Amino acid sequence: MATLILALGLWLLVVSLASFFVVRNLPLEVEAAVAKAAQAEAVAQPISDEEFIQRLETIVKSYARKKVSEQKSVKKVDGKSATARKMSMLQNLLSLEQAFYFYNPVNGEGAFARNLHEFLETVRNLPQEVIDFHMREDVNDFEDWMRSVIKDVKLAEELKRIKEDSGANKEEIIRALEKRLEAQKKLLVKNPIKGPKPGYL
């Protein structure tokens, strides 16, 4: 009997303590629920067209400023000026289908170039028999490639003149290629790429 009374008393004590803590924390939970309801009500309230447009403009301007600052940081990291970027265009590589393929008729070896810069460097290292092969009799492969692939009519005409005047003269071909590359570089320095002006969307 005494054990039963003790157990009942212990149970009442546990229930009392639990009720005390629940009642004590109830105001905090109620306050949080009220705050959430007020927040939801504020979001759900309609706004005028003018206020909506104003908020939209703020978002767009913020986005535009972010994009402009990102572009500036990319330019700083990249470290390339507009002229340097355009200079690199001179070294853009053509596809393998458009490349010029050099052929050595003596040993059957070959090489290829995918832009004017590579073409010049390859010609500098070629034996004379390769140049003779590509500029033989009624053939002028160098001129044809410059005209049809590189689309440099001026250089094509110069290579045509060289063949007519002095045949497959390696030194003259190299000078013509160097002169043309130098002229292109000067042209790019005078007319650098102009990027888009920053602005809002």
The listed range with the strongest mean pLDDT (56-60, 85-89, 112-116) is 112-116
Mean pLDDT across the chain, nearest whole number?
75
pLDDT band, very low/low/confident/very high, at 197 (cuts 50, 70, 90): very low
The rounded percent of the chain whose pLDDT value lies above 90 is 41
* Lowest mean per-residue pLDDT among 41-50, 130-139, 159-168: 41-50
pTM greater than 0.75? no
Q: How far apart are CA 156 and CA 154, in angstroms?
A: 5
Check residue 14 and give its pLDDT: 56
Q: How many Cβ atoms are within 10 Å of 81's Cβ, its own excluded?
A: 12
**Helix or strand or coil: residue 48?**
coil
What tokens were used for 35? 């705050």
DSSP structural state of residue 195: P
What tokens were used for 141? 């492969």
Check residue 38 and give its pLDDT: 58
**Using only C-alpha atoms, what is the Rg of the chain?**
40
Q: How far apart are CA 192 and CA 7, in angstroms?
A: 93
pLDDT beyond 90 at 56: no
What tokens were used for 127? 């034996």
Q: How far apart are CA 181 and CA 118, in angstroms?
A: 11
Question: N- to C-terminal Cα distance for the chain?
Answer: 85
Amino acid at site 35: A
* 9 phi and psi angles, rounded to 5 deg: -65, -40
* Lowest mean per-residue pLDDT among 54-58, 84-88, 125-129: 84-88
**Helix or strand or coil: residue 113?**
strand
* Cβ within 8 Å of residue 55, ≥6 positions away: 47
Please give the residue that has the higher pLDDT: either 49 or 187.
187
pLDDT beyond 90 at 81: no
Contact of 115 with 90, CB cutoff 8 Å: yes
Chain-centroid distance of CA 85 in Å reads 12
